[in-house]
């Protein structure tokens, strides 16, 4: 039993030593990592209607005091239309419009579809 433990320990030590040597050799043969040369430029493109709709919806849902899950959001060429099947107060309607206007890419907001109390 003792011989087996010594043999196992010796085999493990040899394996680790050989693996370490192989790893060191692999590291030595690899060249340094080269970063891409050139200047980083900012991508500028129009914001999509889908992105605007998603952003408005998520901002309305996370706003306290707004029934965000009950407000339908549609966007067409940057113009956002808000509508609902449940009644909202004038304050909630004003807040929903203000939140929507702050979103990048929104050109106009129509809240005619929001039912007032």
Q: Identify the residue whose tokens are 């085999």.
A: 11
pLDDT grade for 11, boundaries at 50, 70 and 90: low
Residue 39 has pLDDT above 70, yes or no: no
pLDDT of residue 35: 54
pLDDT of residue 34: 57
DSSP 85: S
Residue 30 has pLDDT above 50, yes or no: yes
Mean pLDDT along residues 30-55: 68
Closest among 62, 63, 76, 17 to 9, alpha carbons compared: 17
Q: Identify the residue whose tokens are 């509508």.
A: 83
């Amino acid at each position: 039993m003792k011989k087996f433990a010594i043999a196992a320990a010796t085999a493990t030590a040899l394996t680790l030593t050989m693996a370490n040597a192989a790893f060191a050799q692999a590291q030595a043969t690899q060249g340094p990592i080269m970063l891409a040369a050139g200047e980083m430029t900012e991508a500028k493109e129009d914001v999509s209607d889908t992105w605007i709709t998603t952003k408005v919806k998520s901002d309305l849902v996370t706003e306290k005091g707004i029934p965000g899950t009950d407000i339908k959001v549609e966007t067409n060429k940057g113009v956002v239309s808000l509508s609902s099947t449940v009644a909202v107060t004038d304050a909630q309607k004003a807040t929903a419009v203000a939140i929507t206007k702050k979103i990048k890419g929104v050109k106009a907001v129509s809240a005619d579809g929001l039912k007032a109390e």
